[in-house]
């Protein structure tokens, strides 16, 4: 393929680019690299009615603009809209810094564009069907939770845990608590188990607020479900374990001075 120098001002962005956010610090690093070594890998474009449309290489194009370059090395290709969209999505999926939600959105777009099922997508990308299914489930999270994930306040594992609550309002409420209390994924899993899927929350949710606070602290500390019961003037603390290994871990923590 022939590599040509094209005026940057004649290249418009790819309308099918699934990536919405770009790390400014990494763009700055790439800009400095381009100023020192030039653009090492040409971008790919398609001839348009006026100028060119970017097919692949948006980070290189953005960094080149930041570097003040007037032209950029490019390969001109002849692609259909469908091929152009697929290539943009696949290139995006190869990026290491792709967020979980961007990855999930890319899977959804590729399935819609190429008419693929989850099984078909699994075979095409070499990823397990269960992995793709779990990623796609993240798209069912409410907007507020997605926003928190995009801001790195919650991880994708937090998001998958919240999905078990099913109620979007409840998901947002619990997500806010998880962020405020800096809950680990394990602590959040333990907390989510206290909610009843039908009644939303167990009757014990009416317990005194100060007990709930201590209960959450213990859940975070021991990494398991903890329940504090108060009957008249007596109290009971219960720690849950699901295996002998987990029992020994909790016991060791209790015996530690």
Within its chain, how far is the Cα of 120 from the centroid? 22
| pLDDT of amino acid 18 | 61
pLDDT at 222: 78
Which range scores top for mean pLDDT: 66-70, 124-128, 204-208?
A: 66-70
Q: What is the DSSP string of 192-228?
A: HTTS-TTTSS-GGGGS-HHHHHHHHHHHHHHTS-EEE
Residue 55 sits at φ, ψ, to 5 deg, of -105, -50
Catalytic hit among 5, 24, 28, 58: 58
Mean pLDDT of 197-213: 53
Which comes out higher in pLDDT, residue 126 or 223?
126
pLDDT at 2: 86
Banded model confidence at residue 187, pLDDT cuts 50, 70, 90? very high
Q: Reply yes or no on whether the pLDDT at 103 is more than 80.
A: yes
Per the annotation, the verdict on 172 as an active-site residue is: no
- Helix (H) or strand (E) holding 160, with range, is helix 156-163
Binning pLDDT at 50, 70 and 90, where does residue 205 land?
Answer: very low
In this prediction, residues 169-188 reach a mean pLDDT of 93
Compute the 3-state secondary structure of the chain and give helix, strand, coil in percent, each to the nearest 5. Answer: 55, 15, 30
pLDDT of residue 230: 67
Closest C-alpha among 32, 54, 36 to residue 45: 54
**Side-chain-facing half-sphere of 117: CA atoms under 13 Å:** 3
Range name among 79-83, 151-155, 240-244 with the lowest pLDDT average: 240-244
The answer to which of 68-77, 154-163, 168-177, 199-208 has the lowest mean pLDDT is 199-208
- Using the predicted structure, report yes or no on whether residue 136 has a pLDDT greater than 90: yes
Mean pLDDT, rounded, of the chain: 84
- Residue 203 reports pLDDT greater than 50: no
Helices 185-192 and 156-163, interaxial angle, to 10°? 10
State how far the Cα of 159 lies from the Cα of 188, in Å rounded to an integer.
10
Contact 152, 191 (CB under 8 A): no
Which pLDDT does position 41 carry in this prediction?
92
* Fold type of domain 3-96: 3.90.1530
20-67 pLDDT, tens digit each: 667 788 899 999 999 999 999 999 999 988 899 998 888 899 999 999
Asked whether the predicted pLDDT for residue 176 surpasses 80, the reply is yes
pLDDT of residue 204: 42
For residue 165, give the DSSP letter.
T
pLDDT tens-digit series, residues 9-20? 999 987 766 666
């Amino acid at each position: 393929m022939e590599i040509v120098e094209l005026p940057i001002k004649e290249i418009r962005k790819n309308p099918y680019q699934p990536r919405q956010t770009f790390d400014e610090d990494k763009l700055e690093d790439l800009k400095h690299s381009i100023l020192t070594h030039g653009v090492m890998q040409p971008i790919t474009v398609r001839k348009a009615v006026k100028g060119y449309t970017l097919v692949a290489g948006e980070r290189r194009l953005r960094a080149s603009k930041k570097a003040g370059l007037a032209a950029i090395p490019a390969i001109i290709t002849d692609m259909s809209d469908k091929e152009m969209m697929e290539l943009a999505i696949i290139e995006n999926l190869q990026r290491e810094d792709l967020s979980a939600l961007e990855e999930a959105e890319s899977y959804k777009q590729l399935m819609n564009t190429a008419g693929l099922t989850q099984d078909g997508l699994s075979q095409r990308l070499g990823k397990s069907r269960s992995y793709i299914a779990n990623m796609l489930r993240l798209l069912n999270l409410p907007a507020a939770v997605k926003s928190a994930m995009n801001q790195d306040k919650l991880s994708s594992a937090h998001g998958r845990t919240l999905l078990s609550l099913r109620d979007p309002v409840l998901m947002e409420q619990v997500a806010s608590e998880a962020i405020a209390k800096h809950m680990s994924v394990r602590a959040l899993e333990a907390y989510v188990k206290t909610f009843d899927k039908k009644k939303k929350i167990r009757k014990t949710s009416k317990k005194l607020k100060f007990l709930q606070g201590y209960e959450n602290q213990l859940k975070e500390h021991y990494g398991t479900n903890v329940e504090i019961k108060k009957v008249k003037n007596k109290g009971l603390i219960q720690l849950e374990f699901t295996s002998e290994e987990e029992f020994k871990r909790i016991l060791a923590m209790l015996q530690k001075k």
